[in-house]
Structure 1
Amino acid sequence: MTCVTTSTWSGERLRLARPHTYEEARGTAMRTWTVGDFKISEIHELPAELGLFDGLIPEAPREVVQTIDWMSPDYANEAGQILADLHCYVVDTGDQKILVDAGCGNGKSYPTQPVWSNLDTAFLERLSEAGYERDDIDLILLTHVHLDHVGWCAVQDETGAWVPTFPNARLVVVDAEWQRHLDLMLPDGGDAIAESATGADDGEVDVIARAFYADAETFSNQAKLVQKESLQPVVDAGLLELVPSGAEVAPGVRYESTPGHTSAHHSVRLESGGEQAFITGDFIHHPMQIARPEWSSAGDFDPEMSGRTRRAFFEASAGTDLLVLGTHFTGSGAGYIVEDGDNYRLVQERPA
């Protein structure tokens, strides 16, 4: 099992600036891993603006983050601020090319997280740099239906209509997670775009509260916008495929239930040639939750369940050769779980 970066990682820029661009956050690095016969490529979308995730994990104010010695410099800065980014993975099995999660997307309406509204990133260009074009993708697997994991399911065509980004790809979602998303959309009420969806922000709004503690109508309207701009074009094209929990969606590629962030959140387990990897989705938002499994994110549907899910996963994975790839991890972006006292840490060296 190997990891390859095509150029030097430029993490220092991330620690010293409020990055908004791929180049500022990543230099020109592109990372790939091999797992048996599978090739996994990380396709970077954008860094989370420094400070955006402050408060994401309520038990971890900056001064507490600073006490976890392995957080800095890869996963937090010296001031204890969380570092995070948004990226997707292409899993190339040789027979199929599978996109795992689909980021925020460009030009979307996100009133609950306006900093990610109306983006204009070079995600598709970076996908091409990794060797994949839009027509090449065979499957899109969603770990869960949240706005920062579904956006590239659709793009606007020359007329402004939303159309599937990957016209040959089936969109695969666990049936219970799809139903959870549908249930958010109340039958009454509009789906008008709030002024905050333009991305403007007066700096006085608690972004964590807006994203995760809104009322039912706000969540409903956001879900309707996500459906309209990202998911319905795929449904209308007949490309949606719902599968049960634990489904093997391709040889060596299967969903694994990791509930807590949402009630039906699923991660993706990869197995090839006697090697294995695990793409987390959001059941692990940040490596800090490896150091402290019971520290749940503000956005978790069931924080206690989320903590139990993580600890059970770490107990089963510690000391094994399971490569863990974090959907929002900065730094190395991946590693192996090892015991660290009563808890765990993420390391780069594969356990013997």
Structure 2
Amino acid sequence: MITSWRIGAATVTALSEYYGPVHVPDRLFPDLDRAVLREHRDLLEGRFWYEAIDRLVISVTLWIVTLAGRTILIDTGIGNGKTRRTPRANMMNTVVPDWLAAAGAAPDQVTDVVMTHLHADHVGWNTVRDGDHWVPTFPGATYHVPRADFEHWAEIDRRGEAVDGGSFRDSVLPVLEAGLVRWTQAGDRVADTLDAVSARGHTPGQLAMWLRSEGRAAVFCGDILHHPVHVLRPEWNSVVDVEPDHAAATRQAFLAEVADRDVLVAPCHFAPPHAAFVRREADGYVFDPIGNGTALPAHARPAQGASARKDLSASEKAI
């Protein structure tokens, strides 16, 4: 439920709002070939895919970064009491606020809320209900909102074509009206901690957020990757990719950038442990999920050479 790593001087924590085998593979990925799932059964079965019921495991993950006095929440999941068209997301009632507090990200501790994009399952805990109104969950925080994504969804809302039950109105507009929004775009330094890079495709304004500290790196990539099968077959778009051609190109470029490097890849929908390294294999890529703690997997290259790694105790190793 709550998993943490060290990225240099930063602590990175994954908090899962929920996860489970919920998606029929070819409904999420229309071009999916189940032969690929079977080919990679040892990697996928029982963790990311359940063949017996033919379901992919999907998580809704909130990411927390603590560094230099800041507590940063990256993407905020579905939220409680929100009317949504997807039954499993409709009117949820979880104890996420308690879990956030346990992870050191209670409402009065969060300094920044960062959104990679504005789909309903990434903005829900921006707000909570107060009587008949939705109010900011983190009233002392700055909410960093991708400007291009906001403009896209604002136009859809203006036309009355929202498809997600109204998340733009109940989870985005209230923080704007409260005066808490700071617009973000590619090239920005966000919360004095993260570097915003364009990740257009899944939505027009999606941004990937890069964290670099003491020679280590992590990237919070939103929905560039929707499931580990996306690493195996980046050409497969999901049904929720707004700009399919851009989405596929973005995935290919992203995987090429992070492969075989000490970059912790942190999507929002991977099952536990929620993060992975990417490495090249043959003409493509595979993902290497990692567990809780500080140790790098054996294949990852140490920043200061193999000899330096031998001198580090387990408690001193850092991603």
Partner residue of 1:209? none
Partner residue of 1:305? 246
Rounded to whole Å, the distance in 2 between the matches of 1:228 and 1:30 is 29
* Deviation of 1:218 (Å): 4.9
Partner residue of 2:294? none
Higher mean C-alpha displacement, 309-318 vs 273-282: 309-318
The alignment status of 1:186 with 2:135, answered yes or no, reads no
Q: Let me know the Cα RMSD of the aligned residues.
A: 1.8
Partner residue of 2:77? 103
Rounded to whole Å, the distance in 2 between the matches of 1:53 and 1:170 is 37
* Deviation of 1:324 (Å): 0.5
Runs of 4+ in 1 over 3 A off after TM superposition: 51-54, 61-64
Contact 2:82 2:91 in 1 (8 A): yes
1:277-325 CA-partner distances (Å, limit 9, x unpaired): 0111111101101011111111111222211111111112211101101
Partner residue of 1:34? 6
* Deviation of 1:64 (Å): 4.0
Alignment of 1:158-237 (within 5 A): 159-187=131-159, 217-219=161-163, 222=164, 225-237=166-178
* Deviation of 1:83 (Å): 0.6
The alignment status of 1:81 with 2:55, answered yes or no, reads yes
Q: CA 1:53/1:64 → structure 2, altered by over 3 Å: closer, same or farther?
A: closer
Higher strand share goes to which structure? 2
Partner residue of 1:296? 237
Amino acid at match of 1:32: S
More RCO (CA 8 Å, sep 6+): 2
* Deviation of 1:94 (Å): 2.8
Amino acid at match of 2:249: R
1:47-96 CA-partner distances (Å, limit 9, x unpaired): 25534665101122545422224222321123352111101011101321
Alignment of 1:108-147 (within 5 A): 108-111=82-85, 113-147=86-120
* Matching residue within 152, 155, 179 for 1:238: 179
Partner residue of 2:224? 283
Partner residue of 1:150? 123
1:219-253 CA-partner distances (Å, limit 9, x unpaired): 3xx47x22331122211211011122221113331
Amino acid at match of 1:163: V
Alignment of 1:43-82 (within 5 A): 43-48=15-20, 50-51=22-23, 55-60=27-32, 62-69=34-41, 70-79=43-52, 80-82=54-56
Partner residue of 2:214? 273
Give the unaligned 5+ runs of structure 1. 1-28, 190-216
| Number of equivalenced pairs | 291
